[in-house]
Amino acid sequence: MSGKAVILNSFGAPNAVLQVVSAPRPTPGPKQVLVHVKLRPVNPADLFSVMGAYPGFAPKTFPATPGLEGYGVVAEVGAGVTRVKVGQRVSPFFDTISGHGSWQEFIVIDEQALALVPDNVSDESAAQLIVNPVTVVLMLKELKIPKGEFLLQSAAGSTLGRQVIQVAAAQGIKTINLVRRSAQIDELKALGADIVVSTEGLETADAIAKAILAATGGKHAYGAIECVGGVTTAAITMSVRHGGFVLVYGAMVGMEGTVHVPSFIFRDVTYKGFWLGSELARMTNQQIQAVTSEVFELMSKGIMVPNSGEIFPLDKVVEAVIKSNATARGGKILIGN
């Protein structure tokens, strides 16, 4: 029995390099599991992977298969496997560095590299376990924002931004949320956002920072997360408290961001980069299992619900990629089989 796989033989634009091919069904060895991958999201990092701009996808040889995360069902187990059984739902930790990603139907995974999906977590949520939800939980742990204080975030309308709103609200943390379109304001408030500020028409860091402080009545955020870059980075620098801490985890508008130097000098504001790949590399398997269990508990309770959108078949991977870049696409684009 064979399956399908998305491959690339070189880095480049997704519509130019992605191919769907027939791939043999592998056989699991001792302590290994064959997973039939059923569903996987299209994340921005997946597109950067295909273009050769993401360090979490660095195959030394081609062809390679992208895909940072996904959900599947155990199809076969190797000798000595005790954690899972055939038919069990799992979210694997794929070996994306080597190019063995989730955009394929069948893949062999070590049994310890599987997160077991609870019955009351949907397939769509299970497929999005790692990239956004685990990032949200780990960033909130690092920021240590007290109950009742403000967390400031850019790109609040993104899938990750919505999850930040949900989890922060459950923890008693108030949120200030930057969006690029005013149409998103009511939608995010319905999710539990305390303050939503649209940057539509605001072209300078000073203008954005003034809008934030006006919305809070002059109160600075305790800490912040930032993924936009450009003048937004400086605006966030200006909008956190004296001694505030900012985690930078992305650069949506380009690889450069401006900063507000007086905030560093006179207000002791600190910036630090956050990349999930580095965080996971520093964690033990036990710690990784603990954080995925925490995420699944949040999902099970309806606190963290990934915003899922249209599902494309694997054969239509290029169409899925194109739709994932559309404005107001209606949730995370997913690829089925």
Question: What pLDDT was estimated at residue 98?
Answer: 95
Domain ranges in the chain with CATH number 3.40.50.720: 132-276
Question: What is the average pLDDT across 301-322?
Answer: 95
Res. 258 pLDDT band, cuts 50 70 90: confident
Tell me what percent of the residues of the chain surpass a pLDDT of 90.
Answer: 88
CA-based nearest residue to 71, from 33, 126, 112: 126
Res. 261 pLDDT band, cuts 50 70 90: confident
CA-based nearest residue to 67, from 37, 29, 87, 25: 37
Res. 10 pLDDT band, cuts 50 70 90: very high
Q: For residue 248, which amino acid is it?
A: V
Distance CA(70)–CA(81), nearest Å, equals: 21
Q: What is the pLDDT of residues 108-136, one digit of tens each?
A: 999 999 999 999 999 999 999 999 999 99
Model confidence at 286: pLDDT above 90: yes
Burial class (CB in 10 A: 0-12, 13-18, 19+), 37: buried
Q: What is the CATH number of domain 2-128+306-335?
A: 3.90.180.10
Pairing of strands 32-41, 2-7: unpaired
Q: What is the pLDDT of residues 132-147, one digit of tens each?
A: 999 999 999 999 999 9
71 in catalytic set:
no
CA distances to 145, 219, 223, 240, 300 from 149, rounded to whole Å, are 7, 10, 9, 11, 26
- Average pLDDT of the chain is 94
Model confidence at 27: pLDDT above 80: yes
Model confidence at 327: pLDDT above 80: no
Question: What pLDDT was estimated at residue 257?
Answer: 76
Res. 217 pLDDT band, cuts 50 70 90: very high
Model confidence at 288: pLDDT above 80: yes
What are residue 37's DSSP bridge partners? Answer: 72
Pairing of strands 221-226, 240-248: parallel
Question: What is the average pLDDT across 302-315?
Answer: 94
Question: What pLDDT was estimated at residue 1?
Answer: 72
Question: What pLDDT was estimated at residue 252?
Answer: 74
- Token look-up 């930057």 returns 178
Question: What is the average pLDDT across 64-87?
Answer: 98
CA-based nearest residue to 75, from 26, 113, 124: 26
Model confidence at 7: pLDDT above 80: yes
Q: Are 312 and 320 in contact (CB under 8 A)?
A: yes
H helix intervals, the chain: 14-17, 44-51, 123-127, 135-143, 159-170, 185-191, 205-216, 231-239, 261-266, 276-282, 285-300, 317-324
Domain ranges in the chain with CATH number 3.90.180.10: 2-128+306-335
Distance CA(281)–CA(291), nearest Å, equals: 14
Q: For residue 244, which amino acid is it?
A: G
How many CB atoms within 10 Å of residue 176? Answer: 25
Q: Are 65 and 337 in contact (CB under 8 A)?
A: no
How many CB atoms within 10 Å of residue 318? Answer: 18
Distance CA(84)–CA(81), nearest Å, equals: 7
Residue 160's φ and ψ, nearest 5 degrees, are -65, -45
Model confidence at 66: pLDDT above 90: yes
Q: What is the pLDDT of residues 173-190, one digit of tens each?
A: 999 999 988 889 999 999
Question: What pLDDT was estimated at residue 253?
Answer: 72
Question: What pLDDT was estimated at residue 329?
Answer: 77
132-276: which CATH number, 1.10.274.10, 3.40.50.1000, 3.40.50.720, 2.30.60.10? Answer: 3.40.50.720
